[in-house]
Structure 1
Amino acid sequence: MRVKKFQAATMPEAMKKVRTELGTDAVILNSKVKKSGGFLGLFKKDITEVIAAIDPSDEHQTKHETKPVERNEEPVSPLNPNLEIMEELKNLRSLIQNRKEAYPEKLEMAYQFLLGQEISEDVAGKTIERLLEKGGSLDDLAEVENLLRLELYESMKQKKFGKPAYDKKFIHLVGPTGVGKTTTLAKLAADAALNHQLKVGFITTDTYRIAAIDQLKTYAKILDIPLEVAYSMEDYKKAKDRFQDFDLVLVDTAGRNFRDPSFIHELQKMIDFDEESDNFLVLGLTSKFADMSEILEQFNDIPIHQLIFTKADETARKGNAVNMVLTHDVGVAYLTDGQNVPDDIKTASAMGLAREIMEGFANERSS
């Protein structure tokens, strides 16, 4: 096994280095955020550190292929790689043992509960450690539940949650295929037209699937909202001109495999992501955190203002939503939990998400 430590300013940057150096089959052994740099103990910055490993048989490099080591990476020693591997594994075991010894019984139960909600080890550990630092009564399960709920809320409350007003004229929904962008677009349109009395228009650039256009046409007919189909940037600009006097224009985009950067460039050629727009990345809550992170990373060249999570009704675990918020410093606009238009959508909030994560903790652990 080849083990290597990577450091970067953010988790997406660290993951990019892992994939570049070790390939897509690499396994993440550990990740943490630590302080680095500074002057005389001041002005230190957060650095994300990731320890990754790969079986040599999985690497897609030839024996003689070498890559330059970046300044902030710590490579495995070429003189004795086995010693380096054993040292890293020893450190990981030590971290796990020390953590278990440090947590009181009720907090250890809370830590395991957070992991069961698919909160990452890094986020869960930091949350528990902040509770330990603050002190207070940690012997009662109900009190621990309340404190954890508040701690999760406090950690997320500075992020941009919810979308109480349609303050931008254009809303673009982007994201992978199958996450429910078109249905979500119809829910937003119904809310804007029926509850806020706004004059709404539809534009779709999803010309790859006839079914997608037909679906949006059906919604447009039911809601009495005009629809323009754009096959090019020129068509898109013409549609924008047609809707010049409208209050809100909702734009549907094609769901593609956004792990391929060419699709991002294709999207940029099709749509004008200007300052008049809110751009929402739509992700399914049933997806893996690593996959969500990779998709968000691919959108570095397109300003993503907030996330929309769909399929909340298809999973009892909302931890990946918290992981995305705290790991990538991004807010959440909406959560959807079904196919009904316009009912199955709700405005996201930091407290609401914290409540859903901690719901049932005390009852489950006391029974």
Structure 2
Amino acid sequence: MRLKTFTAASMNEAMQLVKTHLGPDAIIVSTQKGEGGIGVRLTAAIEAPEEEDAWDYDEDHIDPIDEIVEALTHHNVIAELSEKLTRIAGSLDADDAKLALAGALDQHFKFQPLPVTGTRPIVLVGLPGAGKTVTTAKLATRQVMKKKPVNVITTDMVRAGGYDQLEAFTRLLKIDLLTAGTCDELSDAVAASAPGTLTLVDCAGGNPFDPEDLEHQRRLVEGLDAEMVLVMAAGTDPLDAIDQARAYARIGARRLIATRLDIARRLGSVLAAADAGRLAFAEVGIGSGVADGLGPLNPVSLARLLLPNEHSAREEAAE
């Protein structure tokens, strides 16, 4: 795909420039006001069949807005969100694409790393297979490595091997794993934590699109003064991610942990979920092993994941 930005006094003039330089098959990717609010700045694209499967940038490509648009397109960021981020980035007047995109992400999204003290229990929810159990083990390991107290509870006593997997992790960490199948049992398990202890609750995977199942998940944590965190695997369909995020946001999710960044080539679903559910980015998971990366996310590190050289950015995010 070839991208080019045009600046003109009016939309009609900008469209004529697009047709002249890119031809009648070009599509409009984003539009915004020109510098100082005067005129129009329009970014258009046209397919380049010989480069259809490539993820390469022209060495002479210097326009940061064009670079951002191409990156967001590569990651399948939905059009409305892509246009918002591009518009904000253009208003920052930054010469560097990473800084411009980081500024746009900072203005549009919230970034809230998880606490390390036991002020409120952290309840991990999400689809089956999203990585909740491994994420719970990673968070518990981090607490132990920092010599901070941690209490681990699981409500997953139905899935084959669900309890055994987490019990194996906690046994290595010399932590007792508590179980809770009802709201009352979960409240008692949380109350058993010593003051200042961070409590992690690994909830069984559910179906957020089944009203009864979603209501069951809501009732399970009802009455807990807890921080509900949605765990979502990167690389899913952005529209499915939007529906999922909105469903969990309705029952109390306020933060997002994105997993499997090591195998996902498109991160549009992660951005779509955070946007639709108004979820704050908390952590990112890289790798399926407990010793693999899990760390906080900030606007600059997210911008680096979205822009070229993403492999090195993912490796650094795991450190």
Q: TM-score, normalised by structure 1?
A: 0.63
**Using the alignment, how far apart are the partners of 2:43 and 2:155 within structure 1?**
54
AA matched with 1:178: G
**Using the alignment, how far apart are the partners of 1:319 and 1:343 within structure 2?**
23
Change (3 A) 1:349 1:132: closer
| Structure 1 residues 291-348: Cα deviation after superposition (integer angstroms, max 9, x where no partner) | 1111122224422120000011111322332333344432111100112214321111
Change (3 A) 1:147 1:209: closer
- Paired residue for 2:122, among 157, 165, 171? 171
- Paired residue for 1:289, among 235, 238, 254? 238
**Using the alignment, how far apart are the partners of 2:246 and 2:30 within structure 1?**
33
- Partner SS state of residue 229, structure 2: strand
- Paired residue for 2:214, among 264, 277, 299? 264
**Using the alignment, how far apart are the partners of 2:122 and 2:42 within structure 1?**
45
1:119 aligned residue: 77
**Using the alignment, how far apart are the partners of 1:240 and 1:97 within structure 2?**
49
| Structure 1 residues 64-97: Cα deviation after superposition (integer angstroms, max 9, x where no partner) | xxxxxxxxxxxxxxxxxxxxxxxxxxxxx99949
| Structure 1 residues 171-213: Cα deviation after superposition (integer angstroms, max 9, x where no partner) | 1100000111000000000111221x22222111112213000
Q: CA deviation at 1:135?
A: 5.2
Q: CA deviation at 1:267?
A: 1.5
**Using the alignment, how far apart are the partners of 1:236 and 1:164 within structure 2?**
21
1:330 aligned residue: 279
Q: CA deviation at 1:109?
A: 5.5
Change (3 A) 1:201 1:336: same
**Using the alignment, how far apart are the partners of 1:122 and 1:266 within structure 2?**
33
**Using the alignment, how far apart are the partners of 1:94 and 1:359 within structure 2?**
24
AA matched with 2:72: L
- Paired residue for 1:235, among 179, 185, 207? 185
Q: CA deviation at 1:145?
A: 2.0
Where structure 2 has 5 or more consecutive residues not aligned to the other structure, the ranges are 1-24, 33-39, 45-62, 311-319
- Identity, in percent, stands at 23
CA contact (8 A) 1:319 1:357 kept: no
2:111 is aligned with 1:149:
no
Change (3 A) 1:145 1:212: same
Change (3 A) 1:153 1:293: closer
Q: TM-score, normalised by structure 2?
A: 0.72
- Partner SS state of residue 200, structure 2: strand
| Structure 1 residues 2-52: Cα deviation after superposition (integer angstroms, max 9, x where no partner) | xxxxxxxxxxxxxxxxxxxxxxxxxxxxxxxxxxxxxxxxxxxxxxxxxxx
- Paired residue for 2:228, among 279, 282, 294? 279
- Paired residue for 2:169, among 195, 201, 219? 219
- Paired residue for 1:187, among 131, 135, 138? 138
Change (3 A) 1:258 1:326: closer
Q: Which has the larger radius of gyration?
A: 1
CA contact (8 A) 1:285 1:318 kept: yes
**Using the alignment, how far apart are the partners of 1:167 and 1:245 within structure 2?**
7
CA contact (8 A) 1:161 1:350 kept: no
RMSD, aligned α-carbons: 2.9
CA contact (8 A) 1:156 1:350 kept: no
- Paired residue for 1:103, among 14, 21, 42? 42
1:22 aligned residue: none
Following superposition of structure 1 onto structure 2, how do residues 293-308 of structure 1 map, counting pairs within 5 Å?
Answer: 293-308=242-257
- Partner SS state of residue 280, structure 1: strand
CA contact (8 A) 2:209 2:247 kept: yes
**Using the alignment, how far apart are the partners of 2:128 and 2:181 within structure 1?**
18
| Structure 1 residues 93-145: Cα deviation after superposition (integer angstroms, max 9, x where no partner) | 99949859943684445423321122221122233334445557xxxxxx452
Where structure 1 has 5 or more consecutive residues not aligned to the other structure, the ranges are 1-92, 137-142, 362-367
**Using the alignment, how far apart are the partners of 1:222 and 1:97 within structure 2?**
51
**Using the alignment, how far apart are the partners of 1:304 and 1:332 within structure 2?**
12
CA contact (8 A) 1:193 1:199 kept: yes
